[in-house]
Amino acid sequence: MKINYKIDKERELIIETWPEKVTVKDYEKVKLSEFSDADFNLAYDVITDLRKVKMEFDEEIIAGIVNFMKLNSGKMKNRKSAVIADSPQLVASSLFFGQKNRNLSVKVSVFSSMNAAYKWIKENW
């Protein structure tokens, strides 16, 4: 299934909405689409909404995503990434992901609502 994204130029933000099941290839496709979007801006932070996801992120998926981020680190550095999750498994996976990508200059935090994620994104770091 397809990951959807929206670039909100007014709020300087990229919002991704993930479907029930996701593969590393799905992630790579959406990121490459974002990078080539005319409205893409390196300075924009990201909110990733995982509330529709019905799968567990195993270590292989997380490693694939982190590897893609390393290969494309020039387009993903010095930003905040807020993850919205509503299940204990997704929260744990998101925290594990945050630990795995500490060297990529991406600050990851997990939230239960869009409002909380947006508030954190807009705080200075």
Q: What are 57's two structure tokens? A: 């992120």
DSSP character string of 17-37: E--S---HHHHHHHHHHHHHS
pTM of the predicted structure, to 2 decimals: 0.87
- The CATH fold assigned to 4-122 is Transcription Regulator spoIIAA (3.30.750)
pLDDT per residue over 3-26, tens digit each?
A: 999 999 999 999 999 999 999 999
Distance CA 40, CA 61 (A): 25
- Domain extent listing, the chain: 4-122
The whole-angstrom separation of Cα 48 and Cα 117 is 9
User: Which tokens hold the place of 62?
Assistant: 């997380």
How far from the centroid of its chain's Cα atoms is residue 43's Cα?
Answer: 14
Digit-coded pLDDT (tens) for 98-122: 666 566 677 888 899 999 999 999 9
By the 8 A CB rule, do 55 and 89 touch? no
